[in-house]
Chains A and B, each alone.
Chain A
Amino acid sequence: MINRWEVQETNNMIQEDHLDVRTITMGISLQDCADENIDKFNQKIYDKITTKAENLVKTGEDIEKQFGIPIVNKRISVTPIAIAAAGCKTDSYVSVAHTLDRAAKTVGVNFIGGFSALIQKGCTIGDRILLNSIPQALAETSRVCSSVNVGSTKTGINMDAVKRMGEIVKETAILTQDIDSLGCAKFVVFCNAPEDNPFMAGAFHGVGEKDTIINVGVSGPGVVKKAIESAKGADFETLCETIKKTAFKITRVGQLVAQEASKRLNVPFGIIDLSLAPTPAIGDSIAEILEGMGLESVGAPGTTAALAMLNDQVKKGGVMASSYVGGLSGAFIPVSEDHGMIEAVQKGAITIEKLEAMTCVCSVGLDMIAIPGDTSSATISGIIADEMAIGMVNAKTTAVRVIPVIGKGVGEMVEFGGLLGYAPIMPVNTFSCEEFIQRGGRIPAPIHSFKN
């Protein structure tokens, strides 16, 4: 039988170390909603989403109560709209974004992901319409998240798309400049995007998935940090064991919640995403974990190695705890959502270049980084191209979510609010890549023999 110490350990994790289930995300296929008439399409997707997810939030809250563990977000991901709406005779999908926003509000979820396109090799007509709709859609809605996959290990990088992404980020920033360009926080560019990711802003419901599915994202940087503190001064073997055991425990809770949600909603369980996702709260930080390993500040030499080790141990512990692992599964290193990262930027300990190096060994990429508003779209495309190249060559998911804050410069603070946090604007290398980005075309897929 369970003893008092075990109960105490679990409850301390929840109360003191911010252990929570970060999100229950319901994936809903919209492929059966296709219609030539966009109004009919909108009606169909609204009806399907609000029917399938009718009880999502209530069920999440009931599970929270039953197990006494917070489930921070209840969310929805849908089939990439560029695919679902491809049959509509229209030149804009902005009305679809409004419909998604309305559906999200009706069922009470805080984000809905899937205003997306998969264009790693090239664009269809639907993809083009979607890309052109993104800035306005993000400016006019509050809960819709958008993502675009522009590269993969098997296809290479679509550089025409990368060029366009820089422009879209910039346009979105300008359209939402009165709220510190917040629109860009809802837009991610991917390489090797996973089809079952429950985390925003990059969640979408892949075409290889079932009609409806439950994916769960666990969290718990605070718990890992606490565990690492207990292993102060110990060698790496002990440190790794500590992280692995903790990750196992965290993931088992996620697995329990996922199974319970799946049972109560009568929707099949998809995957558990093993990511460590920080929040701006003190003690719920990836940076603090790395610092707990012995770095004066995140960004110091050794940071990449520490992160690589952390990421790997979290996966090793988590994989045993869950029957299906998927999504992004790794440590997130967003800047604005992580108290320790924000401090590191403020004291000049970390740069975009170091963050880029860190993304080679963890999911997901350059995330929630505020950059000067006068950064050119070509430079943003260049940042994206670099990150995509890392993903392509290393056969991993990488992503870029940068926010060029219009009217603000290096060192100024930006407040995004809530879980999105706040961030000081980071300097960007100002040498031009204009000519490189202007070339257009595709970067071919890399060779995977002769690994070096």
Chain B
Amino acid sequence: MKGIITVVGKDQVGIIAKVCTLLADNDVNILDISQTIVQGYFNMMMIVDVSQSDSIFEQLVEDLDNLGKQIGVIIKFQHEDIFNSMHRI
């Protein structure tokens, strides 16, 4: 099962490191990362594979949300199907 992580917020040191650590701790494999900075704002999208992970999807959503609150950025984790259904026929 794949999921999409988006991180948006003011740029600072260690955002990717913190997100990746959390993912690694939960056996979530990163398939793709793209990231830009627009006017000081950090904007990242990750495609990840959670099929090796023992964690429940909803729990990961909460954990990432909490991590975002700690470091002051917005982190969303969504099942890829919402994007596939909207943008692919």
Contact = CB atoms under 8 A, between A and B. Distances in A.
B8 to A, nearest CB: 9
Query: Chain A's interface: helix, strand, loop or mixed, by majority?
Result: helix
Given A1-B32, A11-B6, A67 B58 contact: no
Interface stretch (B9-17, B22-30, B72-80): B72-80
Contacts of B6: 7-8, 11
Contact of B83 (A2, A65, A66, A255): A2
A319 to B, nearest CB: 14
A7 B86 CA distance: 10
Interface in B16-57: 32, 34, 43, 45, 47, 57
A48 interface: no
A67 B83 CA distance: 9
Nearest to B80: A2
B45 to A, nearest CB: 5
Contacts, number: 57
A237 to B, nearest CB: 22
B70 interface: no
Nearest to A260: B81
Given A11-B6, A68-B76, A6 B83 contact: yes
**Size category of the binding interface on chain B:** 20 to 34
A252 interface: yes
B50 to A, nearest CB: 11
Contacts of A252: 85-86
Contact of B87 (A2, A66, A69, A255): A2
A194 to B, nearest CB: 25
Contacts of B81: 67, 256
A66 B6 CA distance: 14
Contacts of B62: 65
B85 A2 contact: no
A68 B86 contact: no
Max count, chain A CB within 10 A of own CB: residue among B6, B62, B77: B6
Contacts of B79: 66-67
A253 B78 CA distance: 13
A4 B45 contact: yes
